[in-house]
Copies of this chain bind each other. A is one copy, B any other.
Amino acid sequence: MDLSRAAAEHRDAADPLAAFRARFAGTDDDVLYLDGNSLGRMPRETPAALARVVEDEWARGLVGSWSSWIGTATRIGDLLAEGVLGARPGEVLVGDSTSVDLYKLLVAAADARPGRDVLVCCADDFPTDRYIVAGVAAARGMTVREVPADVDEGLDPAVLAAALDERVAVVVLSAVAYRSGALADVAAVTAAARDVGALVLWDLSHAAGAVPVDLAGNGADLAVGCTYKYLNGGPGAPAFLYVRAQLQEQLHQPIWGWFGQRDQFAMGPAYDPVPGIERFGVGTPPVLAMAAVEVGARLVAEAGVERLAAKGRALGELMVALADAWLVPHGVALASPRDPARRGSHVTLAHPRAWQLTQALVDRGVVPDFRTPDRVRLGPAPLYTRFVDVWDAMDRFRKVLATGVHEGYPTERARVT
């Protein structure tokens, strides 16, 4: 690979997604933002979409606007299903947080497997996934099997297979590991779980908009995911949940809110959930926040997940090659799978001074993400990150290491609060 800056510029010139960059705010300043996998950038259309909802629909349309708002959760759901997740219309719903959605589907799935007393999750999965599994298991007297994963290479399919038997009700797993970026094999895990009669509940937070997840093609049963990372829906934007159509009527989520009710405004005496995906809804959805989600989801659908994934792989390969050439000599180690076919869109590097390096980089206009205790996560977002951005960021990274300027930063991470 040609590691010159000119080669990176050349690749940008040939990038079929290059035009999307201008559709995000802040891309004309010189911040090298490599944390789109934590909080995606703001689409330039978002303020106008919000103004439309706030000033036209809310301020002027008042309560009458509910005739259009009522369909928002499924309209964005269908957009995500067809444009991003490889699912079918009527299989995806937007609303609540990823954590609440995970809880609802996990309880529903465990209820659908009566007599089974084990939940499986990955010991290196994102905290909220592990904690929610633990909470549901504790409430139901179930056992948790935490499958170990290599924090750099991800979950070994053979290790997972060894944890599966007919006691397992549900497996909760991230399609892209939050720390290493390691990709799970959605089809193989789904099939292995199905062989023992278990359901898999996928967390797509680091996958949606970054890699094709092809939920229908892979036979996935259940999934949830975040919209504020690669989908650019804004801080704390409402999450999505997916339930395969054929499963929907068999599943009963535990929070019997009025937005899951058949003939909602009849306000009848007993809870009687609608047959479709809306049965997994609970309370009134956050309309303002959903307007921002819709803008972000539409951009990803327009760009196309296959093209985004291809560019994401290429950006990652460049990053790994530059890390090998420039950073490894200074004690940095790759903490993601080396094979780009086994990674999502982010690359993680390990160094004992990771927190000090993160601070030094931020002060030099590079925004990575620190993950305790010793990881620097670099998440180029193919919608708006250029090859030269990766080159420039890695160049600044090597200069920090070469000068040792990071040694002057505090070693303890200050509390975010």
Contacts and interface: CB of A to CB of B under 8 A. Distances in A.
How many monomers of this chain does the complex have? 2
A416 to B, nearest CB: 5
Contacts of A14: none
A99 B54 contact: no
Interface stretch (A158-166, A284-292, A302-310): A284-292
- Most chain B beta-carbon neighbours within 10 Å: one of A97, A235, A290, A371: A235
B26 A42 contact: no
Interface string A35-61: 100110110001100110111011110
Contacts of A417: 70-71
B288 A131 contact: no
A362 to B, nearest CB: 8
B39 A62 contact: yes
20 contacts: A26-B59, A42-B54, A54-B292, A66-B235, A97-B257, A100-B100, A100-B282, A103-B255, A103-B257, A128-B283, A132-B255, A135-B256, A235-B284, A236-B286, A236-B287, A237-B288, A239-B283, A265-B372, A265-B413, A289-B289
Interface of A: 25-26, 31, 33, 35, 38-39, 41-42, 46-47, 50-51, 53-55, 57-60, 62-67, 69-71, 96-100, 103, 123, 126-128, 130-132, 134-136, 139, 226, 228, 234-239, 254-259, 261, 264-271, 282-290, 292, 362, 367, 369, 371-372, 413, 416-417
